[in-house]
Amino acid sequence: MISTWSGAAGRTPGAARGTSAPMTYGLIALCALIFALGPASGLVPGYGSGDALLAAQRAYFRHWGVVPAELFGKPAGAALTPATALFVHGSWVHLLGNMLFLFVFGAMTEERMGRVEFTLFYVGCGYLALLGYAAANATSGQSLVGASGAVSAVLGAFLYLFPRARVTSLLPFLFFLPLRFPAWVVLPLWAALQWLAAGRASDGPGVAYLAHLVGFGLGFGYAWVRYGRGTRVKAAPAPVTEGEKQP
């Protein structure tokens, strides 16, 4: 989900200790299990190899992912694909990238929202993020899969709830030195880069940056409306969301 310019390595304050986040870890485990059992993992010999494996992957993504050109005006079952697509990933890198950011930012957000609300928030915002991308690319025949929209929503909510929490980031233009910045610096910069990338994105296979932006905006807006200015949490200093569309 997160573009190659940056990464998060290390937990935010409070998330590494004393935090109960069963839904965050459950979502990570579920996505990992679904991926391991699918054709993209390469772990199930029943899908075959070579051209047979590629055909199985395309059919799998088309069945469980969002195909914008088929989403609108089709049978009611197609309306479920923005939900099922949240749990399908196209590669190991795709899965690990999304789950890393869910692991880093999800625990504190879940602790603040509560288990049930966090789960509904995650699935609801992820659904709407993929739906928004599909509406903006209604003629696209590419399959869209991945938890990026939902994880981006978690980033948006985290930014509002914990703007001063410090996040360890690796920036290539600073020789990949691990530096700690507050969330209000890292996350808006990430969102800005998604915006720039979305303006250059084509309809071909790649990253659905628009879904990232929609999810991020939904997450931030939800936290703003739901919790208000009086509920932000000040995080005390403590020691230490990619390829969406499949061919």
Asked if 90 contacts 40 with a C-beta cutoff of 8 angstroms, the reply is yes
d(Cα 208, Cα 133) in Å, to the nearest integer? Answer: 7
d(Cα 210, Cα 20) in Å, to the nearest integer? Answer: 31
Structure-block tokens of residue 157? 């909510």
140 is catalytic: no
Q: Which residues does 187 contact at the CB level (< 8 Å), separation at least 6? A: 155, 156, 158, 159, 167
Q: At 201, which amino acid appears?
A: A
**Is the Cα dihedral 147, 153, 155, 161 positive or negative?**
negative
- Per-residue CA distances from 176 to 6, 97, 239 (Å): 9, 17, 19
**Is the Cα dihedral 128, 134, 137, 143 positive or negative?**
positive
Q: Which residues does 64 contact at the CB level (< 8 Å), separation at least 6? A: 81, 84, 85, 88, 145
148 is catalytic: yes
DSSP helix/strand/coil, 167: strand
Of 148, 152, 169, 202, the active-site residue reads 148
Active centre residues (catalytic): 148, 212
